[in-house]
Copies of this chain bind each other. A is one copy, B any other.
Amino acid sequence: MAVITILGAGVMGSAMSLPASDRGHMVRLVGTPLDREIIESVKSSGRHPRLGVKLPPVDAFHHSEFARAVGDDTDLIVLGVSSAGMAWAIDRLCETLSQAIPVLMITKGLYPSGDTIATLPDHLQAEVKRRRGLSLDIAAIGGPCIAGELAARRHTSVVITSRRYEFAEELCTMLAGDYYHPRPSADIAGVEICAAFKNFFAIAVGYAVGSLERLPKAENGAFNYNAAAILFDQAIIEMMVITRHFGGEDHSVWGMPGAGDLYVTCQAGRNSRLGQNLGRGLTYREIKAGPMKDETIEGAELGITLASVLEALTRPDAVDGAALPITRALLDALVHGEPLRIPWDRLHAVH
């Protein structure tokens, strides 16, 4: 039995308490400053208001109690904050840790670093090393996991990756249970790239649904699944090009972190809805001012954050220029305010 302290009590962080607790581990759930009501609810009734379930027995803490939650017996810290909360979380870790406690990251994110991209696990590792002189074992989770389904104990499979592969294996053994099926992966670049980019490309797949509304109604009632499949597959192809470019491996792309997670992401969610609105002919600005006001759309933010790196990749004279037509079209829509235009005759031309 281990002591697992989860920082971030949103849906994904909190959902992790189920497989952890069901495997017999002691779970402490710590909210961020944004999670005050959630923590109050868990403290008083055990219910997580956004997950819609009663959590298993966990000790709940407010953000100011993080050090007390970690104590001197925490074996694993699970980082479940949002990408936007990473700087805050790193501050908390640096002020709290007096020894190296392993970290499992649910938080996803990539950011530009010169002409390449950097991952959050490497960023966290470097910051804690620089500020506290501690070398943490860090792992990250990828793959298809809708938090509400995990919280309902539905079968869920994920990939856990780490620069130290044995650590990823240990975590899989620690967390695997009847309905939670983590698998180790040594491909940290591939897992992180897919975990972030599946949101970006789900926007394009969503386009097929929205654009159907602009087409004349078919006399036989035809939908637009053929087009969705084209875009779904083009997404896999472009994730493969990007993953290879930044040192990841093919099997992550056609495996759970890429194709598997894209499949789930296309079923529902904000990235899909943005794509549907783009398919209806709205611009990104119109959507953000109207139907999706104040919503955080991870795939769009990724594209905007990485715009300079991706623009370089998609220039006509770049090695991969012709191989990334959807990436190019999404950048034009998200960064340059154009309508999303799918270049149908330029897809699947390269692999």
Contacts and interface: CB of A to CB of B under 8 A. Distances in A.
A45 interface: no
Contacts of A52: 219-221
A345 B181 contact: yes
B263 A227 contact: no
A152 B230 contact: no
A263 B224 contact: no
Interface in A143-201: 143-146, 148-152, 154-157, 159, 176, 179, 181, 183
Interface stretch (A94-102, A232-240, A306-314): A232-240
Contacts of A344: 155, 157, 179, 181
A218 B150 CA distance: 11
Given A52-B219, A344-B181, A348-B255, A155 B227 contact: yes
A157 B49 CA distance: 44
Contact of A146 (B148, B176, B215, B226): B226
B253 A254 contact: yes
A72 B351 CA distance: 39
A222 B152 contact: yes
B255 A351 contact: yes
A150 B51 CA distance: 41
A10 interface: no
A176 B345 contact: yes
A146 B218 CA distance: 14
Contact of A183 (B156, B251, B349): B349
Contacts of A41: none
A180 to B, nearest CB: 10
A157 B263 contact: no
Interface residues on A, range: 35 or more
Given A157-B347, A181-B347, A220-B152, A259 B236 contact: yes
A232 B232 CA distance: 13
Interface string A334-346: 0000000010110
Contacts of A254: 233, 236-237, 240, 250, 253-254, 259
A253 B236 CA distance: 11
25 contacts: A51-B220, A52-B219, A54-B219, A144-B226, A144-B229, A144-B230, A146-B225, A148-B221, A149-B222, A151-B222, A152-B222, A154-B218, A155-B230, A155-B342, A156-B227, A157-B226, A176-B345, A181-B344, A225-B267, A225-B268, A229-B256, A230-B256, A240-B254, A254-B259, A263-B263
Interface of A: 51-54, 143-146, 148-152, 154-157, 159, 176, 179, 181, 183, 215, 218-230, 232-233, 236-237, 240, 250-251, 253-256, 259-261, 263-264, 267-268, 342, 344-345, 347-349, 351
A-B pairs, top 7 by smallest CB distance, nearest first, are A52-B220, A233-B260, A144-B229, A152-B222, A152-B218, A254-B254, A156-B226
